[in-house]
Structure 1
Amino acid sequence: MFFPQERKRQINLGGSSSNTSLASITDQAKARRTERIQLKRQNDSATQIQAWWRGVAAMRATRVQMRQVFEQDVAGLTGLRCLVLMGRDEEVLAKWSETMVERGESSLYAAASQPSWLVLVRQACFLLLRSVAASPQSSNVVAHLQVINMLVSPDVASRHLGTKGREAAGNILLYLLRRGFYTSLAEAIRSTPIADAKTSKSLPLLIPLTTVAFSVYPATSQEYADSFAALISSILTIPLLPNRLPLQSLTHMSSRLPFAALTSLPPLPEITIIDRLHLLANLATFIPPRYAALPAPALTAYVKLITSIFNTLPPNALEGAPAASTPQSRSYDSDSEDESRPTVSVVSTFSATPPPPLPVLDARTQKRLQTLISPSHLNTLLSITQKQSDASRRALFDLILALEGSWPSKRSEILGAIVVGGAGTSVIKELWRGSVRRANASSILQEYTRPSTASDASIPALLFLADLYNHALLTMGDDEFFGSSTTSGRNPLSLDELTVFSRLLLDVAFGLYQGPQDTDAMDTSTSTTGTSGPKGVRFTWEEVREKVTKCLVAIHARDSRRPFTPPDHWLVSNQIDIRSFVEAALFEEQQISTGNARAVTTRQIARLAPRLGILHNIPFSIPFSTRVQVFRSFIYSDILARGEDPHGSRLNITVRREHIAQDGFDRLRDADLKGRIGIQFIDQFGEEEAGIDGGGVFKEFFTSLCREVFDTDRGLWLANKKNELYPNPHTYAVEPHNLNWYRFIGRIIGKAMYEGILVDIAFAGFFLAKWLGKQSFLDDLASLDPELYNGLLFLKHYSGNPEDLSLNFTVATDGAFSISYYRPMSLFPVDFGVTKTINLIPNGSNIPVTKENRLQYIYYVSHYRLSRQIKQQSEAFFEGLSEIIDHKWLKMFNQQELQILIGGTDSPVDMDDLQGNTQYGGVFDANHPTIIAFWRVVRSFDQEQRRSLLRFVTSCSRPPLLGFKELIPNFAIRDAGSDELRLPTSSTCVNLLKLPRYSSEKVLRTKLMQAITANAGFDLS
């Protein structure tokens, strides 16, 4: 070893204590580092504060020096330079502007020859403008505005600068325009209270600035167009602008607004919903008085402008209420009874997002907006554009369509204004012959499947025509529709044109129901472009489909009453495979019936179940026989779903022969009528009648029950001149006990339809319409009250002043509503009882019937007579009916088809079908001489006699819907012995004819005719 042994020195690199942990060492290092960073930050901050303070001190000293220099040369170029460098110094600005005003224009332009003057003065002008916007009530504002007006006025500048004056004024104004000139003016105008408008000193100086650009720049320049766009988006969006201006300023602005330049208006910047509404209200004040003076292109551009604004408004924005299922006011094509219809439980994958809050509008703004849909305004536009180009006309039609979409509660008023104003006929013809007649369903549907392509221009015209013609049909009688009217009111479209038009509507509607279902797009209510709907209109494709469907259904209803279309016109069988269609419809019904509960409307069913959508909305496109099969299949599926055993237990009840209706009501009012029911009759002596109910006894009970409950002598039902039944409108009919009877009768009819039992009862068409949730209109009134119908037609075509007739929006009724024929001064004289005056609309007694509102009056009278009077009775009846028959199933039929479903078809009795489905009993068979003679005799009967035979045997004079194979039990003939003096008898409960064995055909004819015409009694033997 070179070095002696010695103890090695222990060095602790971690600190003085060898027991200190690693974590503690780390924390200490972090703390020291943080302390150093904090110290550095404090030093830096101190340095910055010192630098800032030195700068502030230097700036203050400089400002003091500049202020002194400014004071020495306020009106000179040096003072102007100091003003600009000092910026927003209100004292300096005030002194400069007051000095300039005091010394006059010449002092302001004295240094204009200096190269820097223009640069400095436009900056000074901007400082003045910002001062005005920030403090419009300041005492300095007037002087500021006077200076600004002198600097941007081309006339003032030209007086001092000669030919360069206009250029200088334009340069200064352009500098301001690029820095929010109109925004600043709008801030100042908005800040002036409306109450101070007449005494304001600043407004007379502010308003000329809003239009000065149009005297500075050429009308063809970009600056002119940009200024116009800025004025519209900033100034004309000010709430209640006309109310804010003194009369002189209002006149000045109105006379200088360059609306003739609307054709070159660039796209407006995005503005809020409330600003759009105020813009519409202000435009409605300034422009309509100038319609006649506007060039056609400018008027077209204006109409397109407000159309585009309306199309960007959310639904119901103009009403200041959220979009909801309950309308703000009744629409002509809506029915209050429809609100009580049950919704459908269905699985839904889409969710509704709450609409954005809508602005609350001032009453004066609402009043101005309402002028846009007033009859006078719309008819003025119609009159002016009729003399102009096709572009103006198309733009106006687009506007009316936009008004409908953005103001849904006013739809009837908008369309009514056109119809009542006398222009409706010509507009309908123009739309059809000018655009729609050349429309192609394929191109419209192609737009649906590829919405990104260019829009088909015929879509807006088709929608407007559909809306307008559907509205016209509401108050068009059948005599007018079919061209038999001798009055001035005629159908605008010929029957041949309607045939083509209805087919186009059918193809479009069917394609939209069949097409791809874009849930998100269909659920969008505010979008106006893209996949939500066709370009150029605000409506979604779902709304387009609804408009087309409404008009289509209205035309089909007329054709159903008096056919004018060729055979198979309404069918689309060649476009689909009926068998697969039926299978798909049944599957969709099962999916909906077994889905999780979510209430949706009938409209939404079309989205979730396309085949059911077709069956519910345009059922006539599918053959009636197919729909009947679907209906029976729905019932069969319902029976299976209930797990019913055809031979299982049943509800047995006893019924007294003398009290069938009352006992039926007491026993069955709350019973499950979908199940099997056994009937045990009790005779007049209180004894049970012999026999077992195998189905026939129930039919006998059912037939007798219907005969009693529909007896008009009982007071619940009335019959029109065609012997068609409808609920009695008398006040006693709405008593709770009688409403229970209506509910029970509805259940009975539902049971008949569920079991396939035909009931020899005919219901009035307008009442059947309520089963389907449809409204009835003037054309339905003819079948109920011809005298009232004629009176309303007289009023509709009255050439004099309707106010001379002293009518108002009321009806007088004694509860039975007995109406006499129309006489001047008294449309509703009451024949008997205590009269009661009923308002058709709120405050109706104080609203006279005029030329403008008479169609509304006609609608409300018809609605009262056909709907309001029987509202509670109909709802009670429908409530009972819907307990047995799903409302969706009924939507597959119209009124006439529903009647067939209830009571059988009015078609001729097919003898081959009847004979081929007849069963024989006793000694009879198909080859028995009496049977051969029987069929020979029956085949010689006319149709009325054959119907009498059916009524005699089955209790119903009409054949079954799908032929006699569907008659349960089958038509049967059994021998009744050899006594030829005996008449044939029947057991209607089992559809059995008991026929004696007559020796000759002559005797058989005589006896059979005697029996079926004399209504021989029911035979229990």
Structure 2
Amino acid sequence: MQPSLFEDSRRRRINLGGASGASSQSALLDQAKARRLERQTLKRKQDSAIKIQSWWRGMREARSVRRNLRRALDQDVASLTGLRCLVLIGQEEGRSAHDTVYAPARAGFAASWLVLIRKASLMLCRSLARDPQSPNAIHHVHILSTLLSPAAGSRALGTEDSQAALQVSKYLVDHDYQQYLARAITQVPIERKSQCSALPGVVRLLVAPFSIWPADTPTFATSLLSLLTRVLTLPILPNRLPLESLAYLSSSIPYPSLHVLDPHTSALVNVDVDSKVHLLANLVTFTAPRYPALATAALSTYLRLLTALLNTLPVNALDPPSPAKSNATPNNNATPWRHQDSDDSDSEEAVTQVTVVSTFAPPPRLPDIDSRTLKRLQTLQDDKQLASLLAATKAHPAARPGLIAYLLALTTAWPATRERVLSTVLAHTGGTLVRELYRGYVRGSPLGREGSPGAVLDPTHAPAWPPLLLIADLYTQALLTMGDDEFFGEGRNPLTLDEVASFGRQLLTIAYTLFTREDQSGMVRADETVLRCSWENAREKITRCLTAIHARDSRKSFVPRDHWLVTSQLDMQAFVEAAIYEEQQLAQSDIDLPPRALSKRQIAAMSPRLGVLNNIPFAIPFEVRVSIFRHFVANDMLARGRSVNRYAYGPGQRTRAEIRRGRVAEDGFDRLGDADLKAPLEIAFIDQFGEPEAGIDGGGLFKEFFTSLCKEVFDTDRGLWLANKKNELYPNPHAYATEGEYGEVLLCIGIRIMTHSFLDDLVSLDPELYNGLIFLKNYDGDFEALSLNFTVAVEEFGEAKSMDLVPNGSNIPVTKENRLQYIHLVSHYRLTRQIKLQSEAFFEGLSQMVDPKWLRMFNQQEVQVLIGGANAPVDIADLRAHTNYGGLYDDNESTIQIFWKVVNAFDQDQRQGLLRFVTSCSRPPLLGFKELVPNFAIRDAGSDENRLPTASTCVNLLKLPRYRSERILRDKLLQAINSNAGFDLS
């Protein structure tokens, strides 16, 4: 049958038979296998051909690239491209890096090669600065490491000479190559520092010159200077390096050779403010662990460097950032920053006490300090850091001046650290540094030497200022926590009492000279890298210490009577006249602040004599100051259009206040709250029936009113005052005593003399707390067991709460090192901060009556004498010489003769009783009875000898009957004195 046209002639024919069919199937399989092998063989041949062709093309391209590289190298061997070509050619030829780099030198072109390779090496550094994370960066580092390796150069050139490395490193150092490597470090993100393969090599390159050049060569010094100014000024440098590289850098800095930087201090301090801050942080981080190993020269240079940097920083530049700017987490060991309330007598002075920038200049720009940098900066005033420095300088006494300058610089540039640093130094030295400073530096100093006041301003004596200013700060701080038993006890006070007396006199001479110098501006003439202190600030430090010593003498005298006077250095009459004139000029001056708002510092800047009277008043005799004070009062009254004679004002010419007998305090506050208290006042008492009492106020009624007012407002039941165990009053520290009516009453009756707070002042206020602080001061046990922190417990309305003495105080433990600061803060809180608002209200009220700068001329005891009279014997001869007579009496009249004979025979108690009977005050007036206004007077009171003498205290008048018998006069006078018979207040 013929097949169909559409039938597939290739259709497989299936054999359904037996063995013959199986044999045919096997043949078909063998054929398929042979065809598959044939195809695989052909594929291998084709792949091999492709590989051979690819290899050939690669070889041809490589030869072309090599020819191009050689052509580029020949065209500019000194370029960065040329150097890369050299390296690549060497790699292609299987050579090592040093073989490649040094190949031209070995080929006879050493001189030309050296010129070109130095330039090429600097280009590599610049390339690293642009991109240290590029693939070529590691090759660049490798080339530079080879060039800076004396061993590699010697091997490559077949010689022991290392001139190649010396020449290349000198060229790099001379062209400040470390600035490019520093830039390379900053180009690497901190989070990628471990992934940057070139970074460890960059660190090794930074310190390479120190292993090439001797320390006494200029190249070594230049490289070390560049390391500090270019590398250690990088922000948060330790965080930018891998741990291994950081350790390598720290160990490779040539600390023993720091002294080579001495001639280059100016270059170090000429960097910008931010760089100085970072240099301080990095330098102390790297160097602090090595203090014990530093030699004298290196230690001295290190301290001078820190001092120079601190002295050229803006004041407060290192203060912690505000909470809004700071991202730091609380640190249990963080610095207890200075408490907000100053020990100084003027709060505004505490803020500006170390500021040396003109008030007319814009404030300096302060850097925003990273929290990590701030934490490292705190090492500057850390307990362990200070202790290590003290130990190191003790082992190397020649470095002690450097420590003195450093401590001054630190507390000046960083005022917040002043109390902490001083307290820590005192805790670690136990006062021995104070003794060392006085006996080794200050006692023999030309500054303040008797008979040579001009030496204070002599620029040749500038080196004597740092130890003087430091001991002034240290001893002032020591006195704050030194009880009287320690001050006067043997071996507890760093100085003997004789030394304290001599030191105080020396300070007095210096302070008086500085207050009376015409130019109050300018700086102490010393190298600013050693001492940064204005004359004004030097005077403040000296005065603070001087007044603290004088305060001890005021409480318990240990010096001769006239020890504090400078009468030999001035014409007293001229001084008085000048002081009065300066006060008048100041009152009339067109200044922004009213005179009563001026601080002691401002007064001193405007008026030399008033500066003395406000800051060191004890240098002027008390009687002279009283005379000046009275002139001030009289001039103020005349300036207000008032008569200095209070008796010149009759009824209707004075402010009248009607006071109910049972409500003296309430009516006094209401009637006189808005009155001009400097104007004449007239008191009219209202009896229980609402009727005015008979009588005209000639001064006696006002005395009675004021006496009654004081009894009421100082009554502890009113809540304004508390009494201690000795029944001494102090302002109620509870919050309610400053609110509403209480605060207004405090302002109305205000009287306060602002003084230093000493630990011993706490004895009368809180003896239990005082004993606890004394125990802590002398405690030698485990402070952790005490579990104390920088807080104080306050109880109000039966509820106890804890108050931080410093920011974050609850997290700052009290240790052996900071216990002095804790003791001072606790006593300062109880004596000053806790009653701050009440005290300010007192002072504001007093300021409305008496200018504060007048009161600053006197201490507490002197104010008491100024108000109540001298606690001195009554001089009858002086009293008789200034007594006026009326009626039938004169000095020669017989009754008067008998009177003075009887009074002369009185003992002091009887004489004081007579004064109290006639004048209402038992103490004689200051400067003698000539100052009693009106004068003591005696007028006859008739001839009836049975009558008792009477007195009109408002006019200091004794009304004495005409007694003819000495016995009768004596008996009647004593009877009147002792019984107050006939006491007349009208």
Which TM-score applies when normalising by structure 1?
A: 0.81
Give the letter aligned to residue 356 of structure 1.
P
Structure 2 match to 1:166? 162
Provide closer, same or farther for how the CA distance between residues 126 and 838 of structure 1 changes in structure 2, counting only shifts above 3 A: closer
Is residue 481 of structure 1 aligned with residue 494 of structure 2? no
User: Is the 2:405–2:466 contact (alpha carbons within 8 Å) kept by the matching residues of 1?
Assistant: yes
- Displacement of 1:736 in angstroms is 1.3
Provide closer, same or farther for how the CA distance between residues 733 and 930 of structure 1 changes in structure 2, counting only shifts above 3 A: farther
Deviations 1:936-972 (A, max 9, x none): 4433444344333333332222222222222223333
Provide closer, same or farther for how the CA distance between residues 644 and 183 of structure 1 changes in structure 2, counting only shifts above 3 A: same
- Displacement of 1:804 in angstroms is 2.4
Deviations 1:821-858 (A, max 9, x none): xxxxxxxxxxxx44444443344444443322322222
Alignment partners' CA distance in 2, 1:998 and 1:617: 54
Alignment partners' CA distance in 2, 1:96 and 1:989: 116
- Displacement of 1:438 in angstroms is 0.4
1:72 to 58, 61, 67: 67
Which consecutive unaligned segments of at least 5 residues does structure 2 have? Answer: 1-61, 323-334, 352-357
2:379 to 328, 349, 371: 371
User: Is the 2:456–2:510 contact (alpha carbons within 8 Å) kept by the matching residues of 1?
Assistant: no
Provide closer, same or farther for how the CA distance between residues 336 and 220 of structure 1 changes in structure 2, counting only shifts above 3 A: closer
User: Is the 1:769–1:775 contact (alpha carbons within 8 Å) kept by the matching residues of 2?
Assistant: no
Is residue 901 of structure 1 aligned with residue 866 of structure 2? yes
Is residue 383 of structure 1 aligned with residue 391 of structure 2? yes
User: Is the 1:529–1:536 contact (alpha carbons within 8 Å) kept by the matching residues of 2?
Assistant: no
Give the letter aligned to residue 538 of structure 1.
R
Alignment partners' CA distance in 2, 1:142 and 1:101: 18
Alignment partners' CA distance in 1, 2:836 and 2:553: 27
Structure 2 match to 1:743? 747
- Displacement of 1:331 in angstroms is 5.3
- Displacement of 1:569 in angstroms is 1.4
Structure 1 match to 2:879? 914
The equivalences for 1:734-883 within 5 A come to: 734-746=738-750, 768-770=752-754, 774-815=755-796, 833-883=798-848
Q: Secondary structure at the match of 1:596?
A: coil
Structure 2 match to 1:191? 187
Structure 1 match to 2:401? 394
Alignment partners' CA distance in 1, 2:878 and 2:453: 43
Provide closer, same or farther for how the CA distance between residues 442 and 701 of structure 1 changes in structure 2, counting only shifts above 3 A: closer
1:142 to 134, 138, 141: 138
Alignment partners' CA distance in 2, 1:637 and 1:621: 24
Q: Secondary structure at the match of 1:811?
A: strand
Is residue 318 of structure 1 aligned with residue 318 of structure 2? yes
User: Is the 2:336–2:809 contact (alpha carbons within 8 Å) kept by the matching residues of 1?
Assistant: no
Alignment partners' CA distance in 2, 1:700 and 1:313: 61
Alignment partners' CA distance in 1, 2:860 and 2:529: 37
1:622 to 617, 620, 637: 620
Q: Which has the larger radius of gyration?
A: 2
Give the letter aligned to residue 626 of structure 1.
V
Alignment partners' CA distance in 2, 1:934 and 1:783: 45
Deviations 1:136-195 (A, max 9, x none): 221210111111101111121122224454111111111222222111111111211222
Provide closer, same or farther for how the CA distance between residues 742 and 379 of structure 1 changes in structure 2, counting only shifts above 3 A: same
Deviations 1:475-517 (A, max 9, x none): 1111211127xxxx81111111111111111111111111131
With 1005-1014 and 948-957 compared, the bigger mean Cα shift is at 1005-1014
Structure 1 match to 2:258? 262
Q: Secondary structure at the match of 2:983?
A: coil
Alignment partners' CA distance in 2, 1:416 and 1:907: 42
Provide closer, same or farther for how the CA distance between residues 700 and 927 of structure 1 changes in structure 2, counting only shifts above 3 A: farther
Deviations 1:398-454 (A, max 9, x none): 110111111111111110111122x0410000000001000123689657646xx44
The equivalences for 1:335-354 within 5 A come to: 335=343, 338-339=346-347, 352-354=360-362
Provide closer, same or farther for how the CA distance between residues 841 and 271 of structure 1 changes in structure 2, counting only shifts above 3 A: closer
Is residue 595 of structure 1 aligned with residue 602 of structure 2? no
Give the letter aligned to residue 161 of structure 1.
L
User: Is the 2:386–2:424 contact (alpha carbons within 8 Å) kept by the matching residues of 1?
Assistant: yes
User: Is the 1:332–1:859 contact (alpha carbons within 8 Å) kept by the matching residues of 2?
Assistant: no
Structure 2 match to 1:954? 919
User: Is the 2:885–2:891 contact (alpha carbons within 8 Å) kept by the matching residues of 1?
Assistant: yes
User: Is the 1:80–1:120 contact (alpha carbons within 8 Å) kept by the matching residues of 2?
Assistant: no
Provide closer, same or farther for how the CA distance between residues 365 and 1020 of structure 1 changes in structure 2, counting only shifts above 3 A: closer
The equivalences for 1:59-98 within 5 A come to: 71-72=66-67, 80-84=73-77, 86-87=79-80, 95=88
Is residue 666 of structure 1 aligned with residue 670 of structure 2? yes
Which consecutive unaligned segments of at least 5 residues does structure 1 have? Answer: 1-66, 344-349, 523-527, 750-767, 817-832
Structure 1 match to 2:492? 490
Structure 2 match to 1:970? 935
Is residue 286 of structure 1 aligned with residue 266 of structure 2? no
Provide closer, same or farther for how the CA distance between residues 139 and 402 of structure 1 changes in structure 2, counting only shifts above 3 A: same
Structure 2 match to 1:431? 437
Alignment partners' CA distance in 1, 2:487 and 2:655: 52
Alignment partners' CA distance in 1, 2:271 and 2:348: 40
User: Is the 1:88–1:131 contact (alpha carbons within 8 Å) kept by the matching residues of 2?
Assistant: no
Give the letter aligned to residue 401 of structure 1.
L
Q: Secondary structure at the match of 2:162?
A: helix
- Displacement of 1:981 in angstroms is 6.1
Give the root-mean-square deviation of aligned CA atoms: 3.2
Provide closer, same or farther for how the CA distance between residues 69 and 549 of structure 1 changes in structure 2, counting only shifts above 3 A: farther
Structure 2 match to 1:334? 342
Provide closer, same or farther for how the CA distance between residues 557 and 337 of structure 1 changes in structure 2, counting only shifts above 3 A: closer
Provide closer, same or farther for how the CA distance between residues 638 and 780 of structure 1 changes in structure 2, counting only shifts above 3 A: same
Provide closer, same or farther for how the CA distance between residues 121 and 696 of structure 1 changes in structure 2, counting only shifts above 3 A: same
Give the letter aligned to residue 514 of structure 1.
T
Provide closer, same or farther for how the CA distance between residues 943 and 329 of structure 1 changes in structure 2, counting only shifts above 3 A: farther
Give the letter aligned to residue 678 of structure 1.
E
Provide closer, same or farther for how the CA distance between residues 305 and 582 of structure 1 changes in structure 2, counting only shifts above 3 A: same
Alignment partners' CA distance in 2, 1:983 and 1:815: 55
- Displacement of 1:72 in angstroms is 2.5
Provide closer, same or farther for how the CA distance between residues 297 and 124 of structure 1 changes in structure 2, counting only shifts above 3 A: same
Alignment partners' CA distance in 2, 1:281 and 1:332: 26
Is residue 359 of structure 1 aligned with residue 367 of structure 2? yes
Structure 2 match to 1:468? 474
Alignment partners' CA distance in 2, 1:191 and 1:356: 29
- Displacement of 1:979 in angstroms is 6.0
Is residue 675 of structure 1 aligned with residue 670 of structure 2? no
Q: Secondary structure at the match of 1:457?
A: helix
Give the letter aligned to residue 72 of structure 1.
R
Deviations 1:374-393 (A, max 9, x none): 1211111111211213x201
Give the letter aligned to residue 104 of structure 1.
A
Q: Secondary structure at the match of 1:318?
A: coil
Q: Secondary structure at the match of 1:919?
A: strand
Provide closer, same or farther for how the CA distance between residues 397 and 329 of structure 1 changes in structure 2, counting only shifts above 3 A: same
Q: Secondary structure at the match of 1:456?
A: helix
Alignment partners' CA distance in 2, 1:652 and 1:72: 116
Deviations 1:679-725 (A, max 9, x none): 22333443333333333433343333334433445443345566654
Alignment partners' CA distance in 2, 1:672 and 1:141: 84
| Identity among equivalent pairs (%) | 53
Provide closer, same or farther for how the CA distance between residues 181 and 926 of structure 1 changes in structure 2, counting only shifts above 3 A: same
User: Is the 2:346–2:600 contact (alpha carbons within 8 Å) kept by the matching residues of 1?
Assistant: no
The equivalences for 1:197-212 within 5 A come to: 197-212=193-208
Provide closer, same or farther for how the CA distance between residues 803 and 976 of structure 1 changes in structure 2, counting only shifts above 3 A: farther
Provide closer, same or farther for how the CA distance between residues 331 and 834 of structure 1 changes in structure 2, counting only shifts above 3 A: closer
With 559-568 and 863-872 compared, the bigger mean Cα shift is at 863-872
With 686-695 and 404-413 compared, the bigger mean Cα shift is at 686-695
Is residue 107 of structure 1 aligned with residue 100 of structure 2? yes
Alignment partners' CA distance in 2, 1:922 and 1:97: 131
Is residue 124 of structure 1 aligned with residue 128 of structure 2? no
Provide closer, same or farther for how the CA distance between residues 540 and 241 of structure 1 changes in structure 2, counting only shifts above 3 A: same
Alignment partners' CA distance in 2, 1:178 and 1:712: 80
- Displacement of 1:545 in angstroms is 0.9
